[in-house]
Amino acid sequence: MTPDARERYSRQIRFAEIGEDGQRRLLESRVAIVGCGALGTFHAAALARAGIGKLIVIDRDYVELSNLQRQWLFDEADVEQALPKAIAAANHLRQINNGCAIEPAVVDLTPSNVEDLLADVDLILDGTDNFETRYLLNDHAVSRDLPWIYGAAVGSYGLTMPVIPGRTACLSCVYPKPPAGVQPTCETAGVLGSITAIIGAIQVADALKILSGHADQLASRITTVDVWSGTVRQVSQPERDPACTACGTREFPHLSGAKRAPVSLCGRNAVQIHERTRPLDLRKLQSQLAPLGEVRANEFALRFFMPPYEMTVFPDGRAIIKGTTDIGIARSLYSRYIGA
């Protein structure tokens, strides 16, 4: 450890449970943050400041004005430039700690790219907003004996749970199927920045225990917090389910892509189309769409406004159609303006 690093992380090193040996482990660690919204931006900033050696920041979306109330790394300039969240986060993280290697990925995590994106990481932090991606994370992590930490928050309520393969129950043990019925989202129920900060902080604390060599001190429990009522509950995780498709029978249906489908994005009144993978020339597309409506483009994404809809198209052919949750309408708009 260099003298500068020893000074920079001195207050963390003085915390006996981490110490110099634990800090050295942190400096050598590689962490993937999947989803760079309210939880993910907190994860990224906290871990960069803690001295994690490498952060892989994965997010499919771009910065919007409504994000600034709770998404800790972004500012108004990011909104004005319509930057992808992963790129904006990387820009700010490099100013926080230029000794931390930052690898942004403006992609949707899928069965086809999960192996490449999450190769050689030591831990995964969940900052996603949907169960499809969480089940994919769970399948990948369990198949690789890789720890990951689940987290979610909406309204004033949030919860988190560490998954340590071979030791704790996994996500599929606890939730064999995603929650049924209409669920509250940030769009319908709102969300307080304070609950995302608390859940993100608990996730980061668990990550630091694991990465600094103290995974044995990590309690196998589910933590729930409601900042409005002021209640905090912790319950033991259930036992591992021998019939679980991930850690029991090791079938990994989400990793194989057997359950992959177009996704109605949580709380966004939007549908993501990711079934057509092909490189797109965004500048050429901009010239084609300009006579049909307002178009804004940069090297990362193109936004096309055709009220009451808005389409954001990425270079890999993926698109987010905002203004509907009907997959049929979204596919129709994609085919009309991008092609079948």
Q: Would you list the DSSP string of 270-297?
A: EEEE-S------HHHHHHHHGGGSEEEE
Query: pLDDT-based confidence at 326, cuts 50/70/90?
Result: confident
Q: Are strands 123-126 and 148-154 parallel, antiparallel or unpaired?
A: parallel
Outline which parts of the chain fall under CATH 3.30.310: 263-337
Range 212-240 average pLDDT: 96
Give residue-wise pLDDT tens across range 79-95: 999 899 999 999 999 99
Outline which parts of the chain fall under CATH 3.40.50.720: 3-236
pTM of the entire structure? 0.86
On average, the pLDDT of the chain sits at 92
Query: pLDDT-based confidence at 325, cuts 50/70/90?
Result: confident
Asked if residue 279 has a cis previous peptide bond (ω within 30° of 0), the answer is no
Query: pLDDT-based confidence at 264, cuts 50/70/90?
Result: low
Tell me the CATH architecture of domain 263-337.
2-Layer Sandwich (3.30)
Rounded Cα–Cα distance for residues 164 and 169 (Å): 8
321 vs 327, residue with greater confidence: 321
Rounded Cα–Cα distance for residues 308 and 3 (Å): 57
Domain 3-236, CATH among 3.30.70.20, 3.50.50.60, 3.40.50.720, 1.10.10.10: 3.40.50.720
269 HSE (CA, 13 A, CB side): 8
Q: For residue 155, is pLDDT > 90? A: yes
Q: Residue 269: its pLDDT value, please?
A: 82
Give residue-wise pLDDT tens across range 2-55: 999 999 999 999 999 999 999 999 999 999 999 999 999 999 999 999 999 999
19-27 vs 193-211: helix crossing angle, rounded to 10: 100
Q: Which among 54, 44, 36, 21 is positioned nearest to 106, based on CA atoms?
A: 36
